[in-house]
Structure formats: structure tokens, C-alpha cells
A and B are shown apart, each in its own frame.
Chain A
Amino acid sequence: MTSPKPRTWALSIVAAACLATSAQAQTWSYKDAAKPFAGTSIRVLDEVTPLQETMKTLVPQFTAETGIKVEYELLNHFEVINKGQADMLSRRGYYDAVMLHGIQMGQMLAAGTIEPIDGFMADKALFNPGLDLKDLTPRAYESLAKFKGQTYSFLNWNYNFVYWARADLLNDAGEKAAFKAKYGYDLAPAKTTRQFLDIGEFFTRKAGQMLAGQPLKTDFYGVLHEGITGGATVSSVWENIMKNYGADLFDASGAPSFNTPETVQALAFWARMWKYSPPGQGEYSLVDVPTVMGSGIAAQSIAFSDFVLGIDKPGASAYAGKFTYGAIPVNADFKGPRSAGGEPSALVINKASKNKPATFLFLEWMIDKDTQRKLIEAGKGGVPIRTSSFSMPQFGGSQAAFYGAMKSSIDVVQAKPKVPKIFEIYDALGPIVQQVGQGKLTPEEGAKQGQAKMLAICSKCTL
């Protein structure tokens, strides 16, 4: 009899480890893990959208399984920021978990109000071995949750931008022929910034002109984008445009880097976009963009995908079913990594919480594969936080183009860098970015003024 070879030994060890893990995964349950906390009540503050309202219907299942009572409070975007931050910063711990948009993480980390979850993840009694964190969309999760060697959250919401266009116009035979005659290539959803501008220019028409064989009753516009001074305008310009030109708000050291040739190029593109936009763009927020797109006066847009879902459904708009989607158009001349805007967000454990382990269990349960499956089935879609969710039937069929675009964005979306003064920076850049769009500042002036404003706020802005 010969002794086993080293390779056989190694395989045996791996197999044994897998079996042990599998057995542990099979034996671990929320019910058992929650036994020490049964009867505990936790308060969770989250943002209200259709997705979270669906989640709210599932929460009683967690209580039934664990005995942990959850007050799951949903507030609108502004309130969830104000109330959540106020509670965390006050250290009174009214909420055990608070939803933080990625943009808030820098501020809250600087204030030391977020409880890291590494300790809970290392606790075998608390951590679900079947949670499969590698399945969370990796770029969003890694950039959002991990910071300086610690983990501060899972990934709960995967807000992202997509390219959104009128398929009925892009597929119209007459328009296709006219476009090819004018620009020398086929009319199709824009993949590059140049195509985006060409389509924008092509479809910008005055009332009385023809569009897809019909006379226009009102003016029609080629491009639609958020343009309000607050909101997500700066965010979109930064992540959807600037980064695709190789520009960024901050350099590698975290210092402001707004006044660069790349930023000027990106702002020049942004200014050209506005020439093909509705006159009211300067007042459009992220909520107005889908409303206007749904009213049928624009050919293409860049918008938050979850808002698009509210428009492209029967009964919501006369143009529902007539849209197409794609990845965020990129600058073909830039050879660096592709970028898409988004706002990976998470529920974090409030450092002042008195029920941290029970809260951790709830947060685990929220991102659990089974919960996510139920969430997607109940909501008939949504914005997945797990890569595997994209293979569910809800994301195929007639919705395949939309979810394909969403996945394309999520694949490259990164959370914002951890910048404590990011809201001040946005507030300073908002008017400048808008004025560049409206033609009141040149891209060069905008870049210069923006840099000066940023430097007045911070010389090293990232944590």
C-alpha cells in the first residue's frame, strides 16, 4: 500500500473544508442566531421608493423567523438624509440602522458615527456563512462598504444611471435614412459622446417641422438631462461625463483637480448637450427628467434607472414600451476605464445603537439571497444588488434591454470617495456647472472657478 500523494492530501483537505462550510451553512439559521435577541425591537430608517416599499412587505417575515421586531420607517430622500444624519450625529441612537447614500459616507465616517461590521462578521454565531458577499455587485460593494481596512456596511441599494432613448424615433425608417445621409453612419442608441451629440442635434426641431412623419405641435429636443443647481447634476456630470473624459473632481492624493484640460473637454461636451435640451433644463431635478421624458418632448436622456421604471410601464406614459436603453455613452478618444454614474447606498449600523447584533442580523437578512429573490419577485423587478439576480426571469424578456443597460452601469459604478465636505463642494460646483451648461461661463472659466471654489473648501478633500 502506498501513502497518499501530497495532491491527494490537499484535495481531501479542501473537500473536508467545503463540507464543513456547507454543513455550517446548512445548520446556521436566522432563527438560531437571533435566539439571544428574540423580543428585541430595532428601528431602521430607509428611503422610500417602490423598491423599499416592497421590502417593507417582507420585513414581517424576518420578525416571524427571529422574534426581532423591526420598525422599518420609510422617508423621502431629503428627510432620510436630514433625519438620519441628525440622529447619528446627535449620538442618541433612536435609529439602530440608517440608510446612507454613498455620498454621505465621508461625512458620517469623519464624524465617527458608523459602526464597523467586521466584528459581527467574524462572529460565527451571528454571521450567515451562506451570505455569499462575493455575489454583491463587486465594484459598488467594495467602494462603498470598505474603507481603510474596515467594512462599514453591506450593499443595499444600487442606484445607477442609464442611457434612455426613444426607440420609435431611432427605428423610424425615414429618420434613419436622413440621419445616415447627414452624419454618414447608422442611427442607433448612442454608444459614444459624439453619437450622443449627433442624435441630439439631429432630433432638435421646432414646432411645425416633421418628426417620424408627423408634424410637431411643439418644439422637440434631442437631449434631456438634470440641470438644477442642487440634486444630482454635479454627480452626473462628474461620473457620467468627466470620468469618461479622464477627468475627476479629486486627484490621487485627494486634492481638488477640477481645472484640468480633461475637465475643460468634459464641460465643453456638457455645454454642447445643453444646446439640444429643453429651455427648462436648468430647473429639472432627477424627478423632472423622467417626467419630461415621459411627456414625449425629448429623444434621449441620461437618467436614474429606478426613476425610468416609473415611466416605462403601461399607463404611466403614452410612450411606455417605445423606449430603448443602453450603457452610458463614452468618449471614444479616452482609453481609460469606462465610468457610469450611480449611488451605491447602504444601511449602516448607528454607532449609538443599543441593539447592534440584532440590527446586524436584520441587515444580513435584507441582503440574503432568499430575501433578494423574494424582493425581486414581489416587486416584479427592481435594482439588483446581487450579480446572480440578473439571471432571474424578471430581468429578461421585454425588459432585457433595460436591465442590460442597468447591468452595464452597475458593472462600472463606483461609490463616491469618502469626502466629508462633499455637500459643500457640490453646493459650490452646482451653480458653476449649470452656468457652463447655460452658456454663461465658458468651460475654461467654469473649470478655473470650480477649482478655486473647491480649494476654498478643502486642499485635501478625501479622508
Chain B
Amino acid sequence: MSVDATLTAAPPWRRRFSDSAAYPYALIAPALAVLVVVSLVPFLYAVYLSLHNVEYGQVGDWNLLDNYAKLLGNDRFWNSLRVAGLFMLVAVPLEFGLGLAGALLLNQQIWGRSLWLPLLFIPSMMAPIVVGLLWKIMLAGSWGLLSYNVIERFGWLPGTSVFASSDHALIVLGLVDVWQWTPFMMLAFFAGRQALPASPYRAAAVDGADAFQTFFRLTLPLLTPLLVVIGMLRFIDAFKVFDSIFILTAGGPGVATESPSMLAYKMTFEQWRIGESAALAVLVWLAFFVLCNVFFQIAKKRLKAF
């Protein structure tokens, strides 16, 4: 039976409904309902908690902005933002650059591509706890595979170890993130590159454009929407980093790797300062809401990405 025949066979009420303004909303309603339940309700509850005294899990009196004031006066909060910022600055640009370079390389029909592609999924598919443990085995002070055989043998970090050094721990955590997420970026960009139309490239070739020109005049502009979305997602994800820090440094040495997620975890599950940790979550959300909007506007107006 053809599609037209199906439409013709549809009862009039259904045709009227599919033509109505409510139809698109009805289509997205199930997804919207799920989002409201699993995302909006908890978020609104977090806002509610952040405005109340919460002692040992019991919600008490309304306290206006006390939790926010306490948080803003807490140097650990500002430190955690600094840590997350540095972590993002180390990890995301590298992931982005290496991912894009790798995607372009994969696009060149390199030898064994069908072998490399599935292998590239492995780090991203690994559970974060496994990634943490893997790098612990590699870099643990004095007994890690790399620490013992390379770093300490050649005296690269005298008197300390990778994760015991406040100068190195955060950078290495960023590199662990690069190891895990660069292949994902690579594959995402590669898929985007593969989906680009061939005709502009043929025209460029006819016009005699070199590889450099083709990349900057064609590939990059055409890929910009994808680059912006993936980049934004990675920025958000990197800011929320928790698992690898929890496993590898627990926020130390000192508080050198204590990210907002790590701080929120301690405040919630160890210290039961739920009001303050809810305030932290709300503030971080607010910051991201603003940043993402700014980012989106730049991408839209300056980069013409959307």
C-alpha cells in the first residue's frame, strides 16, 4: 500500500488533527514529559532545597539566600571553579584539535580504517571507573606501570609523583580526559565530514583550491554547526568531571583537583550540607545557562553556525 493511499484511507478526524497546530506539540509531548520528570522536577527541587535549611536530609525553614551566601564565602567553592576552568582549558582544546585532525586523517582513506574505527570507540565506551582504575595502575606513585618504569626511573618528578604533585595532578587528569574523549570527538567529526556534500569539493578541485584552502574555506565552515554543538557538549561535560578525580586523586593533593562535582559530592554525601550543595548545583547551572547562551549567540551571529 502506498503512502498516499494510507493518508487517503485515514479517517477525517485524524487528518484534521495532523493538520492542526497541536500536532507537532503532541509529537514531542512524550519526550517532553520524560524531560520534565527526570530533569526539570529534580532541578526545581534543587532550587527549593537551595533556599531552605536542610539538616540531615530533613527540609527545614526557608532561609532566603543563606546557602548561596555561605557558598560564595567559601574559598573551596571558588577553588573548585578554578579547577574546573583549568581542567576544561587543558582537556577540551586538545580533544577538539586532535579530534578534528584525526577525523580529517580518517577521511583520507588511510590504511586499516575499518580496523581503527571500532578500536577508537573503546576509551569512550569504557566505564569511567574503569578509566580511573586503568590510569591509577599506570600512574600510581612508585608502583604504577608508567610511574615505576618511566617517570621515577628517569627522575622526571623528583621527590613527588604525578598525583601527589599539585603542579601536575590537574594537568594529568586533563590528559586522561583527552585520552578518553578524543576518539569520541574524532568519530563525531569524522561522521560529520562524511556527511558533507561532495559537490562543493569537486567545484573546489576544479577551481584549483589546495588542501589548506579547501579546509578553511569549505570543511571548517560546513562543519561549524557540528563543531559548535560537540564543543559545547564537551565543555559542559568536562566541567562536570567527577569519576576520574574521585578515583585518581579524591580532589587532592590538598584541594588542587577538587572540581565542583567533587566538592558537591563531599558536601552532600559526606557532610550532608544539602542546602549548600543544592545552591552550588543551581549556581553552576546558572553559569552554564548564561555561558551556553553567549556561546550560542556567538556561533549564530559571528560564525553563522545555525
Contact = CB atoms under 8 A, between A and B. Distances in A.
Interface string B161-188: 1111100000000000000000000000
B213 interface: no
B57 A279 contact: no
A279 B141 CA distance: 6
Contacts of A107: 56, 272
Q: Per DSSP, are chain A's interface residues mostly helix, strand or loop, or mixed?
A: helix
Given A279-B152, A427-B271, A110 B56 contact: yes
Interface stretch (A85-93, A182-190, A379-387): A85-93
| Shortest 5 CB-CB contacts between residues of A and residues of B | A280-B141, A282-B164, A280-B161, A229-B252, A89-B57
A227 B164 contact: yes
A218 B252 contact: no
Contacts of A227: 164
Contact of A427 (B157, B160, B266): B266
Interface of B: 55-58, 140-144, 147-148, 152-153, 157-165, 248-255, 266, 269-273
Contact of B141 (A82, A90, A110, A278): A278
6 contacts: A86-B269, A89-B272, A278-B142, A280-B164, A288-B143, A424-B273
Interface of A: 81-82, 85-86, 89-90, 107, 110-111, 113, 218-219, 221, 227-231, 278-285, 288, 291-292, 295, 297, 421, 423-424, 427, 430-431, 434-435, 438, 440
Nearest to B246: A78
Contacts of B163: 280, 282-283
Contact of B270 (A229, A281, A427): A427
A423 B140 contact: no
Contacts of B57: 86, 89-90, 111
A279 B56 CA distance: 39
A113 B158 CA distance: 49
Contacts, number: 115
Given A283-B164, A421-B271, A434 B141 contact: no
Contacts of B252: 228-230, 282-283, 430-431, 434
A231 B160 CA distance: 19
Nearest to A231: B250
A288 B140 contact: yes
Contacts of A111: 55-58
A423 B161 contact: no
A280 B168 CA distance: 12
A227 B165 CA distance: 12
A89 B58 contact: yes
A301 to B, nearest CB: 13
Given A427-B271, A434-B253, A89 B140 contact: no
A288 to B, nearest CB: 7
B150 to A, nearest CB: 12
A282 B160 contact: yes
Specify which of B147, B250, B272 lies most central, judged by the most chain A CB atoms within 10 Å of its CB.
Answer: B272
Given A89-B56, A228-B250, A288-B140, A282 B161 contact: yes
A423 B271 contact: yes
A110 B56 CA distance: 9
Contact of B147 (A231, A280, A282, A288): A280
A381 to B, nearest CB: 26
A416 to B, nearest CB: 14
Contacts of A440: 254
A282 B254 CA distance: 9
A333 to B, nearest CB: 30
Contacts of A218: 148, 152-153
Contacts of B266: 423, 427
Contacts of A231: 250
A427 B141 CA distance: 22
B209 to A, nearest CB: 52
Contacts of A421: 271
A423 B253 contact: no
A85 B269 CA distance: 8
Given A279-B152, A282-B163, A285-B250, 20 more contacts: A81-B269, A81-B270, A82-B269, A89-B57, A89-B272, A107-B272, A111-B57, A279-B161, A280-B160, A282-B164, A282-B165, A283-B141, A283-B164, A283-B249, A283-B253, A291-B143, A292-B142, A421-B271, A423-B270, A435-B254
A229 B271 contact: no
